[in-house]
Amino acid sequence: MISRLEKSTDNACNSEGCTEHQCAAGIYAQTVTEEEQSHDPGVTPYLEGVTVLDFTQYLAGPSCTRLLVEMGADVIKVEYPPYGDPVRPAPPRRNGRSAYHVQQNRGKRSLSVDLTRREGIALIEDLIPHVDIVVENYSPGVMERRGLGYSRLRELNPQVIMASISGFGQTGPLSEKTAFDFIAQAYSGLMHMTGEPDGPPMLIGAGIADTSTGVHAFAALGYALYRR
């Protein structure tokens, strides 16, 4: 289970009616209880001591960083105010929490940072020297436009490893197109192979394109850590 979000005392908004996910100015920290750790406390996790800054949302990126958590990494999820990851309110819900969101983000710490403000970028720049991995699944070019592209991260931390997850890659004729799982299923022909022989293309209900992408990104990060 994801633990409660605790509002920090620094830079927090005290406006009347402001809630934890409706604050445009506040920066929030998320705590992780011992019960939320997914590894055996008697075994040293493979990625213990590895810190990850996680700029992912929806499924493909969070499924990758969830695997890093399960291997013992300390994952700090950066979410955009005021609402955070768009899947936070997704059904099914219980006690105000989305099972979908909890499934992919359990065990992570979280910050809500406005990356359109210089103060938010400065906060991230302060964190970069202390992390080993950065994972993002924005559309290609978003991190560069925010001043957080790979070349800038390398200036701040020459040893940092960065994984960028997107529907059509970072370069090439389709790289500027945004994509979700069902778009990948359509472009790959998977939808054409699904359903009745004489019926229309059919979407696979499970996010197989997103989750398989997360697994491959996780494996690539493992190789990159080994190489480093």
pLDDT at 24: 37
pLDDT at 28: 46
Q: What is the pLDDT along the chain (228 residues), one digit of tens a residue?
A: 222 233 233 333 333 333 443 333 344 445 444 555 555 667 789 999 999 999 999 999 999 999 999 999 999 999 999 889 999 999 999 998 999 999 999 999 999 999 999 999 999 999 999 999 999 999 999 999 999 999 999 999 999 999 999 988 888 898 888 888 888 888 888 888 888 888 898 988 888 889 999 999 999 999 999 999
Terminal Cα-to-Cα distance of the chain (whole angstroms): 33
Tell me the C-alpha distance between 58 and 148, whole Å.
20
pLDDT at 22: 37
pLDDT at 205: 80
> Would you call 210 a catalytic residue per the annotation?
yes
From the CB of residue 102, how many other CB atoms can be counted at a distance below 10 Å? 17
**CB-based contacts of 39-44 (< 8 A; 24+ apart in sequence):** 39/70, 39/71, 39/72, 44/72
CATH number listed for the domain at residues 5-176: 3.40.50.10540
In the chain, where the domains are located: 5-176
Catalytic residue among 54, 85, 181, 210: 210
- Answer yes or no: are the C-beta atoms of 132 and 159 closer than 8 Å: yes
Give the SS3 label for residue 164: strand
pTM over 0.85, yes/no: no
- Longest Cα–Cα distance of the chain, Å, equals 61
